[in-house]
Amino acid sequence: MSDLPPAAEPKLMQATSMPLQINAQYIKDFSFENPRAPASLRPQSSQPRIDVNVDVQAAKVSKDEELYEVVLKITASGKVENDPLFLADLTYAGLFVLQNMDEDALHATLLVECPRLLFPFARAIVADATRDGGFPPLLIQPVDFAAMYRQSKETSIATV
């Protein structure tokens, strides 16, 4: 017998049958390079230029299940003038179960909501690696995955 009021039970049933479940998160590939160490750790003559690129990919893992792998690829590099300081290259992924979604909602969830859930963990990995490499932690600004999704849809429509 439930201790919940009768009106709360349907809400609880809805919450337990969520269309999105995270089964796992993991690093698929990661590298950090500090090619000019220890010279790169000395005071520099000018401010470094930091470049960050983010890409998202998604694929169904098996035909029988509604299991998808979403991959967040982050590449960050620092340079002073033309001299490299560091290069961080992270491929971070998650396994998601997505149920009862139409094709449009599925596509948007895979490329917007899933990477939004993965991003804070990937951001922390890059920040820790740059800090452990002898630099200030690189705190990547939040990414607007919805804007990236809209832009990719517009680009694919324009190329058809």
Q: Is 106's pLDDT higher than 80?
A: yes
**Amino acid residing at 90:** L
Domain locations in the chain as residue ranges: 19-159
pLDDT of 4: 54
Percent of the chain with pLDDT over 70: 86
Better pLDDT: 89 or 158: 89
Average pLDDT over the chain, rounded to an integer? 87
| CATH architecture under which domain 19-159 falls | Roll (3.10)
pLDDT of 26: 98
pLDDT confidence bin for 110, thresholds 50/70/90: very high
Alpha carbon distances (Å) from 156 to 48, 88, 150: 35, 29, 10
The separation between the first and the last C-alpha atoms of the chain, rounded to the nearest angstrom, is: 58
Q: Is 2's pLDDT higher than 90?
A: no
Q: Is 69's pLDDT higher than 70?
A: yes
